[in-house]
A = this chain, B = another copy of it.
């Protein structure tokens, strides 16, 4: 009797997701992929958008589901895809983010110097490939862009890859921010494989009728960055988390408060006690420890550290757990050193007045309570990873050449905004940008 060949997952974004009962389902059931269930997709943004608790796990499933749609569409347009390639591409989409760490990109860098999650994903792909006796060889080639049909790599990692199509649609859905709404199916249905210079060297191109959907995608992405990913309160949450980890690292290096620190997560502490470099992750034991950390470890540790003897660590941890964040204010330009110094003094005074620091420690502690940083984003860089439009005559063009949209051609410039993050009660004499949000 024909058994069902798919396991169905009910997904609010894409409806039913069919996971083939072969290598793909086996991969879904690995601890590496299940771990993504414990890492939120949007870092600390769920503390601003309370409906957005979705995880990297459901995003990985979503990217795989879109890969299915994309491959079926390309196949219907005449591009042959072998079943081996099909499975490999699904695996690559499923696993593309497997190296992500708990919470945000920010946090990854706080734990491991020079961390790139793509490198970590690549290492874990290798681990899985070994365990699955080479079944991921082709998926890895696609990931590495060493496979002879480069369009597969483009579906996994490019301006219009399945990752971006899923996360933009999904994050918009879960945050309720309509401005990120994207016609994912329209983009996928207008994709085709375009053989450049004949031959097998074929690339993804968008048919002309998809141009507005792509344009909307890029503009929406930009809006999502400013409205969600780089929302001031999200930045404040990120800064707070970094401050906490810096404080713990500082104590750990000095063997202070070890009792308290050790009430938190072992795996987390491992990285805060050492100066781990991205290269160290090549050691399987270190890699394992890295994978042991998920959002749970961070939150659990913070809940313990709320009761630390160190008033700074206790205060910072309590602030995160109870969502009592600092204020973020955008600045017209990066402040100069004396300015920063004078602000820090005010914060130090405030710390003393509030019995968080004493006169000795206030200046040092203030560095955790006020930070100057910059947020920035480039929506579309045609120079780096161009999007190709193909017209009715089969000629290809770079996106910005083909559109009448001055809006679009203007996206390429990157925007960077300096900001300062500090406790709300402190009155800083800021020449603030009266920023929109």
The total of chain A residues at the interface (CB under 8 A) is 99
Q: In this assembly, does A133 line the interface, its C-beta being within 8 Å of a C-beta of chain B?
A: no
A61 within 8 A of B: yes
Binds B, one of A106-114, A173-181, A242-250: A173-181
A396 to chain B, nearest CB (A): 11
Q: In the assembly, how many copies of this chain are there?
A: 4
Residue contact A12 to B173, C-beta cutoff 8 Å? yes
In A391-410, the 8 Å CB interface with B consists of 391-395, 402-410
Q: Across the interface, which residues of B come within 8 angstroms of A223, CB to CB?
A: 212, 215-216
| 19 sampled A-B residue pairs with Cβ under 8 A | A2-B192, A4-B77, A8-B189, A12-B51, A16-B176, A16-B185, A16-B186, A34-B323, A40-B53, A50-B57, A50-B58, A51-B58, A179-B183, A208-B436, A215-B223, A219-B407, A222-B407, A391-B434, A393-B434
Give the 7 A-B residue pairs with the shortest CB-CB distance, closest first. Answer: A406-B410, A407-B407, A181-B181, A178-B183, A300-B300, A179-B216, A12-B176
Q: List residues of A whose CB falls within 8 A of some B CB.
A: 1-2, 4-6, 8-13, 15-16, 18, 29, 31, 34, 37-38, 40, 46-47, 49-55, 57-58, 61, 76-78, 173-179, 181-183, 185-186, 189, 192, 207-209, 211-213, 215-216, 219-220, 222-223, 226-227, 263, 265-266, 292, 296-297, 299-300, 303, 321-324, 389, 391-395, 402-411, 413, 415, 417, 434-437
